[in-house]
Amino acid sequence: MSKDNQVLEEFSSKEYEHGWSIDLESDSAPKGLSEEIVRFISLKKNEPEWLLEWRLKAFRHWLTMKEPKWPNVKYPPIDYQDIIYYSAPKQKVQPKNLSEVDPELIETFKKLGISLTEQKRLTGVAVDAVIDSISVATTFKEKLGELGIIFCSFSEAVREHPDLVKKYLGTVVPSNDNYYAALNSAVFSDGSFCYIPKGVRCPMELSTYFRINAANTGQFERTLIIAEEGSYVSYLEGCTAPMRDENQLHAAVVELYAMKSAEIKYSTVQNWYPGDKDGKGGIYNFVTKRGICAGDYSKISWTQVETGAAITWKYPSCILKGDYSNGEFYSVAVTNNYQQADTGTKMIHIGKHTRSRIVSKGISIGKSQNSYRGQVHILKRAENARNFSQCDSLLMGDQCGAHTFPYIDVENKSAHVEHEATTSKIGEDQIFYCLQRGIDEEAAIALIVNGYAKEVLKQLPMEFAVEAQKLLALTLEGSVG
């Protein structure tokens, strides 16, 4: 009997005493959430005992928690017992060529300027050997390996680097942090793990694109990035291609850990299915993202372009613990039709001379609701802390809403906190000026909106920025009355 099977045996017999009733041979768990299910997931993933315990603790805590009601979003109650929490990564039926793929999707790809090869990769069409993404990924991985950089799936990290995972998991976002983080901690499926050793500057943008087994990480994704002293990494999450998923609820957790003088730049383009024009369907994206600037002179920078999801609940935050550490948050959030977004950031200043900068650009179209929620907290020992916040809202049409909820909490008198907020509309004059130069209304709006969001877009890595611009234009399509 192989070692794995032995473990499995042990577990299953043990579980039997507790009334284990799930078919372990099954590829997926039955609907619903219970301790049994948590054990089942951990078992299926061959996890060590400590991780199972960690999950169980999170689960038990989750049971005592209530779904947050404070976000400015509305949705029917979620039945957590009606969700399947584990199903083994399935080999989907691969389409043989692009003609077998949803033509609407292909049309969107074309508008985004996504290459044919990339279109095939995204839709799961088999690609030929030369440009096979796996071979690209392999060369890529070797190169990173030489520098001592670890970049792999979360499951692989649990197997190959358990000490690192054990040391840092849950240190930035504790498993009892909030309702969705607790849920994620109990049932997370997979995700990414990234470790940059001391003094290493990661020579390329790390993106899940290059990670083998990146597909099917499921609805409860978990990411952990650790940057050792003096290291640097830029990480890209998501892609501009539309992401469809039959799972309605997504609750991811991302933890960033920056040591002394380390810098982590985390960029996201979120384009989950937003639902149709009447507000039917669409993903609920309830994410907890947080980074800690643990060492002096460290820096964490979040950049996000959010165009998708029916509901977004997301506050990438920075805990500025090290002296002279620096946190940044740059966000563009677009909502159209019936989309709702409640997003922003928290900057917690603990160390002396800590700085933070918040630039949030909301764009509301149609009947959508777009809220910025931000907290700046300057603790007592944070001498000479500085914060600058800029929250702008752009409204298109008169049926949408933009809301700003800034919370500022200053416990040290030496702090300098600046908050600016504006609300604007695209002027008729601006449109006419564009029209007079031969630019049609749709292109004019895209141009003006991209200009409005420029301060954020320019934070993105070059290639990503170009795609994000196209994505914004695409999201605005049809918004012209």
Partner 1 sequence: MLKIKNIHAGVENKSILNGINLEVKPGEVHAIMGPNGSGKSTLASVLAGREDFEVTEGSVEFLGKDLLAMKPEDRAREGIFLAFQYPIEIPGVSTVNFMKTALNKIREYRGQDALDAVSFLTLMKEKIKLVEIDQSLLSRSLNEDFSGGEKKRNEIFQMAMLEPKLAILDETDSGLDIDALRIVANGVNKLRTKDNATIVVTHYQRLLDYIVPDYVHVLYQGKIVKSGTKELAMELEEKGYDWIKSEMEVA
Instruction: Give residues in contact with partner 1 (CB under 8 A).
Output: 427-430, 432-441, 443, 447-448, 450-455
CB of 428 to partner 1, least distance (A): 8
CB of 441 to partner 1, least distance (A): 8
> Edge-to-edge, what's the strand order for the sheet holding 355-365?
206-207, 232-237, 263-270, 299-306, 326-335, 355-365, 386-396, 416-425
CB–CB of 380/410 below 8 Å?
no
Return the amino acid letter for 420.
E
Nearer to partner 1, 145 or 427 (CB): 427
CB of 274 to partner 1, least distance (A): 25
CB of 447 to partner 1, least distance (A): 6
Nearer to partner 1, 186 or 395 (CB): 395
Nearer to partner 1, 155 or 450 (CB): 450
List phi, psi (to 5°) of 467. Answer: -65, -40
Nearer to partner 1, 169 or 473 (CB): 473
Distance in angstroms (rounded) separating the CA atoms of residues 60 and 235: 33
Nearer to partner 1, 223 or 469 (CB): 469
CB of 123 to partner 1, least distance (A): 28
Contacts of 270 (CB under 8 A, 6+ apart): 238, 285, 304, 305, 306, 307, 308, 309, 312
Q: How far is CA 262 from CA 70, 145, 317, 416, in A?
A: 34, 19, 17, 25
Distance in angstroms (rounded) separating the CA atoms of residues 410 and 404: 19
Nearer to partner 1, 199 or 451 (CB): 451
| DSSP 8-class letter at 451 | H
β-strand 311-314 against 326-335: which pairing, if any?
unpaired
Distance in angstroms (rounded) separating the CA atoms of residues 194 and 179: 25
Nearer to partner 1, 127 or 439 (CB): 439
Nearer to partner 1, 348 or 476 (CB): 476
CA 152 from chain centre, in angstroms, equals: 17
CB of 168 to partner 1, least distance (A): 39
46 Rama class: left (phi>0) / alpha (psi -120 to 50) / beta:
left
Return the amino acid letter for 395.
L
Return the amino acid letter for 33.
L
CB of 332 to partner 1, least distance (A): 12
CB of 455 to partner 1, least distance (A): 7
CB–CB of 335/369 below 8 Å?
yes
CB of 328 to partner 1, least distance (A): 19
CB of 449 to partner 1, least distance (A): 9
Reduced to 3 states, what is the DSSP secondary structure of residue 168? helix
Nearer to partner 1, 247 or 424 (CB): 424
β-strand 249-250 against 263-270: which pairing, if any?
unpaired
Q: Which secondary-structure segment (H or E) carries 314? A: strand 311-314
Distance in angstroms (rounded) separating the CA atoms of residues 235 and 221: 16
CB–CB of 186/253 below 8 Å?
no
Nearest by Cα to 236 from 206, 201, 258, 256: 206
CB of 459 to partner 1, least distance (A): 13
How far the first Cα of the chain sits from its last, in Å, is 68
Nearer to partner 1, 16 or 433 (CB): 433
Distance in angstroms (rounded) separating the CA atoms of residues 269 and 331: 10
Angle at 333 between CA 373 and CA 424, to 5 degrees: 85
Longest pairwise C-alpha distance within the chain: 78
Nearer to partner 1, 75 or 432 (CB): 432
Nearer to partner 1, 172 or 453 (CB): 453
CB of 435 to partner 1, least distance (A): 4
E strands, 379-470, in order: 386-396, 401-410, 416-425
